[in-house]
Amino acid sequence: MQTEKRDIRALTKEQLRDFFAANGDKAFRGDQVYEWLWSKGAHSFDDMTNVAKSTRQMLEDNFAINHISVDQMQRSSDGTVKNAVRLHDGLVVESVLIPTETRTTACVSSQVGCSLDCNFCATARLKRMRNLNPDEIYDQVVAIDNESRRTHNRPLSNIVFMGMGEPLMNYNNVIKAIDKITSPEGLGMSPKRITLSTSGIPKMIKKLADDGVKFKLAVSLHSAIDEVRSSIMPFSENFPLKELREALQYWYSKTKSRITYEYVVWKGINDRKEDIDALVKFCRYVPCKVNLIEYNPIDDGEFQQADPEVIDAYIRALERNDIVAKVRRSRGKDIDAACGQLANKESDA
């Protein structure tokens, strides 16, 4: 039985150098191959034109490059593009290109399915199959960057981790992917153009702060009342708002980076005056801004978009208390929304 080849992109540059040295070649060959794999985006060893054919064959004999492929691309009339991304093992995730007049944002996935159980999200109905590897996350960004350059004649400007999965439940791989995306040996993007969106796992938010990350943080809040929030996001019973608040205060004390709260208002769920008052109070704990997100219904069930006057009441209350608030309109409404809220996010989270 043939052993499955190891994905070469799981190796560090030092490990590549060691591999070549151990196989009678010069260590610097590892630097060449590493550049091909990451900054040049080689899909096969034959792409590595400045590497000897015998060396390419040795790599072929020992390793694989498990690149993603874009299986299906859906284009919306507003310019939004959704990719169905097939992984090397046949599983599929989704990523989205969201263009505006001034920027192009990649919305990427971090897991196949999701570890959590948010009732309003289509992805939560899919069990978590596995975490994405760092290179699979990286490849989504590269694919959207290529599409942006091709269709909008400009490079990708922003990245949001708001696709399938909970990024903090795939912590190590997400951090490795961001390190590669921001490295000069990768895509060289500024971490300040990256936003990680989490459903709110306090101990992992604290770990982000302790690890000194430079990217931005967004939290899917949706209610500042524990009972309401746990009815929307059942897993949050394990992470009460008091613990979330303390973690966010810790984040801000370490990073001095303000939080973005993502907040969908649903009819009959969080559209009362006490819901508005609770959000205003919660926003006072840590410097923040609020994105009120237009909901894109996934069925005819209990989660339906709130009336416009309720959104207006939220905006007035937040602004009256000097809290920055914006309404984010749903993007890509005319293409399949199998990923729940994936295409609802805009670029400046």
Looking at 107, 294, 339, 346, which residue is catalytic? 339
Looking at 35, 94, 121, 283, which residue is catalytic? 94
In sequence order, the β-bridge partners of residue 198 are: 219
Distance of alpha carbon 278 from alpha carbon 281, whole angstroms = 5
Query: Do residues 111 and 119 make contact, with C-beta atoms less than 8 angstroms apart?
Result: no
Q: What b/e readout covers 177-199, taking b as 16+ CB neighbours within 10 angstroms?
A: bbebbbeeebbebeeebbbbbbb
What single-letter DSSP state applies at residue 39?
T
288 is catalytic: no
Distance of alpha carbon 144 from alpha carbon 160, whole angstroms = 12
**How many whole angstroms from its chain centre is CA 331?**
17
CB-neighbour burial class of residue 210 (10 A; exposed 0-12, middle 13-18, buried 19+): exposed
94 is catalytic: yes
| Active site positions, annotated | 94, 339
